[in-house]
Amino acid sequence: MKARAAAKRPGGGRLVVLVPYLWLLAFFLVPFVIVAKISLSQTAMALPPYTPVLDLAAGWEGVKQFAAQLSLDSYALLVSDELYLRSYLKSVEVAAASTVLLLLIGYPLAYGIARSPRGLQPLLVMLVVLPFWTSFLIRVYAWINILQRDGLLNDVLMRLHITSVPIAWLSSDTAIYIGVVYSYLPFMVLPLYASLEKIDPGLLEAAADLGCPRWKAFWRVTLPLSWPGVAAGALLCFIPITGEFVIPDLLGGSRTLMIGQTLWTEFFSNRDWPVASAIAVALLALLLVPILLYERLQKRAIGEAP
């Protein structure tokens, strides 16, 4: 409706930009400003559970009063309480290690698909993507079936006499890594495949003709050319894994929480909105550089009009 009315007027094409622009401003950018504001507020036993609430009706006095009450208490808490620092480090550790694992598993898979017969490739890609369409929650839950104490893995291990007592797989870092690698594998394989598939086979033939051994051709030709895929896949996994909540919550233990869980607990259990907001701001600061890098890659990949 709006678009039609717009097209009749000259310059109505602006509405095409304006509608999604305003939507994103209202539902993406403004919320961040609010998070930043609340992270500077103080916890209160009220609803909403924070003060001060900016009272614009009070005019300039209201703004001054508001500014005077802002505090850095929440940030001070983040720095002073070891709990928060530990969960930050834990998140970065899990994200970095699982990104490496994903590369080690995803690269051979993507390489194998890119080297398979042309006609087969779309089917193989679809098979990799298909699990991504099923619910994230289901995929994590599927592993609980396998990893729990009287689950399938222990059953198999005990039948094979590899172990005589059931091993506690759940509530451990191993379970987190399995869940993360399993859930994020398609995100790693797709960009890798996209860049590997583009490589001209003639280059490798040329290398072979000139007497280059295959491993060296891989190292000197294939790997450097697939670099954009490696970077895209790594960022596409690293950033969301750092803030991951569902996987560590269902599969991990309760000893060291990841930062997403800490935020969740502060918000839902402790009802400390200012601290939860401060955690979000700090997490965003940590991820700002990777996110900007990812955006640059994405723009280049899509060959956006300058």
Partner 1 sequence: MKRTSAFNVASVALGLAFLYLPIAILVIYSFNASRLVSVWGGWSLEWYRELLRDQAILDAAWMSLRIGALSASAATVLGTLAAVALTRGRRFRGRLLFSGMVYAPLVMPEVITGLSLLLLFVASGVDRGFWTVTAAHTTLTMCFVTVIVQSRLIGFDRSLEEAAMDLGCPPLRTFLTVTLPLIWPAVAAGWMLAFSLSLDDLVIASFTTGPGATTLPIRIYSQVRLGVKPEINAICTIMIAVVAFATVASSLAAKRGATRRAREGLGVQV
Would you call the peptide bond into 166 cis, given omega within 30 degrees of 0 as the criterion? no
Asked if residue 225 binds partner 1 (CB under 8 A), the reply is no
Position among 57, 113, 119, 234 found at the interface with partner 1 (CB under 8 A):
113
Asked if residue 92 binds partner 1 (CB under 8 A), the reply is no
Shortest Cβ 190–partner 1 spacing (Å): 12
Asked if residue 3 binds partner 1 (CB under 8 A), the reply is yes
Asked if residue 98 binds partner 1 (CB under 8 A), the reply is no
Asked if residue 189 binds partner 1 (CB under 8 A), the reply is yes
Give CA angle at 102 (98, 105), nearest 5°.
135
Position among 133, 160, 269, 285 found at the interface with partner 1 (CB under 8 A):
133
Q: Are 98 and 237 in contact (CB under 8 A)?
A: yes
Helix axes 82-114, 121-133, angle to 10 degrees: 150
In the chain, which ranges are continuous DSSP H helix? 2-8, 14-24, 30-39, 59-69, 73-80, 82-114, 121-133, 136-147, 152-159, 173-197, 201-209, 214-217, 223-225, 227-242, 246-251, 259-264, 273-302
Q: Which of residues 51-70 bind partner 1 (CB under 8 A)?
A: none
Position among 66, 88, 143, 193 found at the interface with partner 1 (CB under 8 A):
143
Beta bridge partners of 51: 42
Shortest Cβ 223–partner 1 spacing (Å): 16
Nearer residue to partner 1 within complex by CB, 66 or 182: 182
Give CA angle at 174 (170, 179), nearest 5°.
80
Q: Which stretch binds partner 1 (CB under 8 A): 56-64, 73-81, 198-206, 223-231?
A: 198-206
Shortest Cβ 151–partner 1 spacing (Å): 6
Asked if residue 102 binds partner 1 (CB under 8 A), the reply is no
Q: Are 87 and 256 in contact (CB under 8 A)?
A: yes
Shortest Cβ 20–partner 1 spacing (Å): 4
Asked if residue 213 binds partner 1 (CB under 8 A), the reply is no
Shortest Cβ 2–partner 1 spacing (Å): 10
Asked if residue 218 binds partner 1 (CB under 8 A), the reply is no
Nearer residue to partner 1 within complex by CB, 25 or 67: 25
Q: Tell me how far apart the alpha carbons of residues 248 and 238 are, in angstroms, rounded to a whole number.
A: 15
Q: Total binding residues for partner 1 by CB under 8 A? A: 102
300: tokens are: 């280049």
Nearer residue to partner 1 within complex by CB, 12 or 173: 12
Position among 164, 201, 210, 289 found at the interface with partner 1 (CB under 8 A):
201
Q: Tell me how far apart the alpha carbons of residues 188 and 185 are, in angstroms, rounded to a whole number.
A: 5
Shortest Cβ 102–partner 1 spacing (Å): 11
Would you call the peptide bond into 248 cis, given omega within 30 degrees of 0 as the criterion? no
Asked if residue 159 binds partner 1 (CB under 8 A), the reply is no
